[in-house]
Chains A and B, each alone.
Chain A
Amino acid sequence: MLIERRWKKWVYFYIPLTLFVIGTLFPFYWMLITAIRPDSELYRSWRAVNNAPFWTLAPTLEHFRDLMEKTTFPHWLWNTFFIAVVSTIISLTCGLLAGYALARLRFPMAGTLGTSIFVTYLVPPTLLFIPLANIIRTFQLGDTPWALILTYPTFLIPFCTWLLMGYFKTIPKELEECARIDGATRFGAMTRIIFPIAVPGILSAGIFAFTLSWNEFIYALVFLSSPEKKTVPVGVVSELIRGDIYFWGQLMAGALLGSIPVALVYSFFVEYYVTGLTGSVKG
């Protein structure tokens, strides 16, 4: 577009971008280096002369081994995975049906319902966790995965509905009309014609929902209490600190392992995730 002088490109582009990259990624590097560093190196005075904090001379997997063998971390991984998958499936199903109805069907109160689903989308979990804890107790769901599987959809369904509704509106109505002329029922046209076309949208919503429920914290913190039933975020926070002592090597190993599954899912589906992210605000 414009021809820029070389130094200008450095000052206005390369240097700021490099700083952004370093700033963004440094905490992750620090997580990794702490996780593979032996304890003797970890706790060394910050003014020690030969302190080399940015790398380690004796990398070790000790922290990872301790984490896997001496704590219930493997349980947490499984719990988080199970809860995230089931609540994502529930929310996708509800969101798919509701999104279709709001985008395509004519019925009284459609506008009001659409708006109220949008409003629930904006209700933060921190507003409701105290009464919800009471309700969970009443239903005797406390300390079971079902407490989370049933409450995570409260923030996932509005999001999925919103995203898929936007997606359905981009699919031409004529497709359904043709199918119905050919004899398909309304329901059949929806499940056999429209849903298959919406697969990219469903994938975006699903991936986004999965990462949201993997990362959820406050409900899991309040509703779960047994160590082996916790999810990764809650387990790392509450079980890896004994008394007042922080085992930083183990903590960082846990943080790293707990981040890898979402990071992997994300890296395989970057484009879908970004679509979900930008779609989540545009609708």
Chain B
Amino acid sequence: MEKPIAGGSGSAAPLEVVLPRPGAQRAQPAAITRWLENEKLLAAVLLAPAVILLGLFIAYPFVMGVWLSLSNTSVGNVGEFVGVRNFVKAWHDSIFQTAFRNTFFYTFWATVFKLGLGMWLALLLNRNFRGKRIVRASMLLPFIVPTVLSTFAWRWMFDPTFSVLNWLLYRTGAITTKLPFLSDGVYGMWCAIVVNTWRGMPFFAITLLAGLQTINPDLHEAASLDGANGWQRFWRVTWPLLKPVTLVVVVFSVIQTFSDFQLIYVLTNGGPANSTHLLATYAYQVGVATGLLGEGAAISLFMLPVLFIVVWLQLRYLRRLEGA
């Protein structure tokens, strides 16, 4: 991110010599055209649609969400102010505690796997081989296809009775009885991590690949002439140069994983026995399915501190890059 005002068309200002304007005033009435010559007014006009839409559907709901979380509103029932009661109630709720722990567990492991595998894949794709373009293009498919739909395919692969994965493991002799993929809380959580990794890894791989391609091959050449092996070259040459882009990708991924909803909703819907809920799915269950808007809003607001810290770190990091 560069400074948003870096464009600085101020240098264009002295050029406002009144010249005959062939056809410049064609369609627009002269008044509006002159009016739009004012840089501040033009900026206001150009920014208005975006700011209005974002204000109406992000800022306003955010304020309303905070109000809801402090009230006992439910569907069809205008609530009144109850202070932090919803937050306290959630904090002592055992399902909430599980969801809270799960969210961190899920985010941490999924991000670790996505980063590790994504980096590996990026390094593989950075080499020259036949059919590179088609392989690269097909690797992005999990990221393109609607998550809900591909998660259904996984759910079918994890089916308690007809799981193809159980079949495979059984046939290769790795197991003798079925694995309880989605009918056990611990297995269920790991299955969700696997699916999330499968879906998010291409995003890491492709963005890291774009980063890799900006690294000058001469650096590797020089390092290997100095006797560095592949492992050393990765850690001493590639990694330091790739760190900025990696950090940004990780931040994006952490935000998306931490606030994930659809994957769990389709794969386990929080079950069995509410053991695989994430904050977002539990907020949905309480706020929408049960209709307790106030409590649901409070649960989803528990995501805010973490998101806030991540965004803050990101902004600080970007500022530092600008300064450098």
User: Which positions in A face B, CB cutoff 8 Å?
Assistant: 1-2, 12-13, 16-17, 20-21, 23-25, 27-28, 30-31, 34, 42-47, 51, 53, 90, 93-95, 97-98, 100-108, 110-111, 113-115, 117-120, 122-135, 150-151, 153-154, 157-158, 161, 165, 168-169, 173, 176-177, 180-188, 211, 214-215, 217-218, 221-222, 232-234, 236-237, 246, 248, 251-252, 254-255, 258-259, 262-263, 266-267, 270, 273-274, 277-278, 281-283
Contact partner of B146 among A124, A188, A222, A232, CB < 8 A? A232
Q: How far is the CB of A212 from chain B (nearest CB, A)?
A: 10
The CA of A171 and the CA of B211, in the complex, are separated in Å by 22
Given A20-B121, A222-B288, A251-B152; A186-B261 close (CB under 8 Å): no
Give the interface centre of B64, B65, B144, B166 by most chain A CB atoms within 10 Å: B144
Q: Residue of A at shortest CB range from B287?
A: A130
The CA of A254 and the CA of B266, in the complex, are separated in Å by 15
Set of chain B residues within 8 Å of A106, measured between Cβ atoms: 5, 7-10, 39, 43
Do A131 and B64 touch across chains, with their CB atoms under 8 A apart?
A: yes
**Residue-by-residue, is B231-268 near A (CB-CB < 8 Å gives 1, otherwise 0)?**
00000000000000100110010011011111001100
Contact partner of B202 among A24, A90, A119, A188, CB < 8 A? A24
Set of chain A residues within 8 Å of B129, measured between Cβ atoms: 13, 17
Q: How far is the CB of A259 from chain B (nearest CB, A)?
A: 4
Contact partner of A132 among B51, B57, B230, CB < 8 A? B57
Q: How far is the CB of B113 from chain A (nearest CB, A)?
A: 12
Set of chain A residues within 8 Å of B203, measured between Cβ atoms: 277
Given A106-B10, A115-B4, A177-B12; A42-B162 close (CB under 8 Å): yes
Do A24 and B141 touch across chains, with their CB atoms under 8 A apart?
A: yes
B-side interface mostly: helix
Do B145 and A34 touch across chains, with their CB atoms under 8 A apart?
A: no
A-side interface mostly: helix
- Beyond A111-B4, A126-B303, list 13 extra A-B contacts (CB 8 Å): A24-B138, A93-B49, A95-B50, A124-B259, A126-B280, A128-B65, A130-B283, A153-B53, A181-B17, A185-B36, A188-B24, A252-B153, A270-B140
Q: Residue of A at shortest CB range from B2?
A: A169
Set of chain B residues within 8 Å of A108, measured between Cβ atoms: 40
The CA of A243 and the CA of B154, in the complex, are separated in Å by 20
The CA of A86 and the CA of B183, in the complex, are separated in Å by 41
The CA of A30 and the CA of B198, in the complex, are separated in Å by 15
Q: Residue of B at shortest CB range from A162?
A: B1
Given A185-B37, A255-B150; A135-B139 close (CB under 8 Å): no
